[in-house]
């Protein structure tokens, strides 16, 4: 294979790389004739602290991290679900202060919960989040399984849906 020779000041793959990068960004945040969306406030905090695992569109990481989109609001139908969302490790241990974390939780439910949020569900308060996040969740996995079973019993969740799905990775 011949080495790539660069002409003075030329980078043969640079236009392709720039087009690829800009194309990926445009799929999420850009529509022709509109400015690129600005991330600020709770959306910025989500983008910086949560999207690495849950994704910018709330899709999660199949087989590993629960999706939020169309799923997170289901927990608001259960008495223990409200506190559960604050006490899961990624939320409770967040470096965000109580006020910013409260804003993110409410933004997540409004953005990804949409029509799955229980009717009459009141937004989280800073005081509520501050108190709940300081009490460790003892049996996160068991509590989640019990809540999913209850959601299925109530007809709010399909029998085979756990919000996580199957990982496409082959693990040996």
Domain that holds residue 60: 41-153
* pLDDT tens by residue, 86-103: 999 989 999 999 999 999
Q: Is residue 3 part of a domain?
A: no
* pLDDT tens by residue, 32-89: 666 656 678 888 888 888 888 888 888 988 888 999 999 999 999 999 999 999 999 9
Quickly list DSSP for the chain. Answer: -PPPPPPTT--TTHHHHHHHHHHHHHHHH--TTSPPPPP-HHHHHHHHHTHHHH-TTS--BTTTB---TTTGGGGGGSHHHHHHHHHSHHHHT-SS-HHHHHHHHHHHIIIIIGGGSPTTPPPP-HHHHHHHTTS--S-HHHHHHHHHHHHHHTTSS-TT--SS---SS---
CATH of the domain at 92: 1.10.760.10
For the chain, the domain total comes to: 1
* pLDDT tens by residue, 7-35: 444 445 444 444 444 443 334 445 566 66
């Amino acid at each position: 294979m011949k080495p790539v020779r660069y002409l003075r000041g030329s980078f043969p793959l640079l236009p392709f790389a720039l087009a690829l990068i800009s194309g990926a960004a445009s799929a999420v945040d850009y529509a022709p004739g509109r400015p690129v969306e600005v991330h600020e406030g709770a959306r910025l905090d989500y983008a910086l602290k949560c999207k690495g695992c849950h994704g910018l569109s709330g899709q999660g990481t199949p087989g590993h991290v629960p999706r939020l989109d169309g799923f997170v609001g289901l927990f608001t139908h259960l008495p223990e679900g409200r506190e559960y969302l604050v006490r899961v490790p990624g939320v409770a241990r967040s470096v965000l202060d109580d006020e910013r974390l409260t804003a993110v939780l409410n933004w997540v439910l409004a953005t990804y919960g949409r029509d799955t949020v229980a009717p009459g569900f009141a937004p989280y308060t800073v005081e509520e989040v501050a108190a709940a996040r300081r009490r460790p969740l003892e049996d996160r996995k068991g509590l989640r399984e019990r809540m999913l079973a209850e959601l299925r019993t109530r007809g709010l969740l399909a029998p085979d849906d756990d919000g996580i799905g199957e990982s496409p990775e082959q693990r040996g």
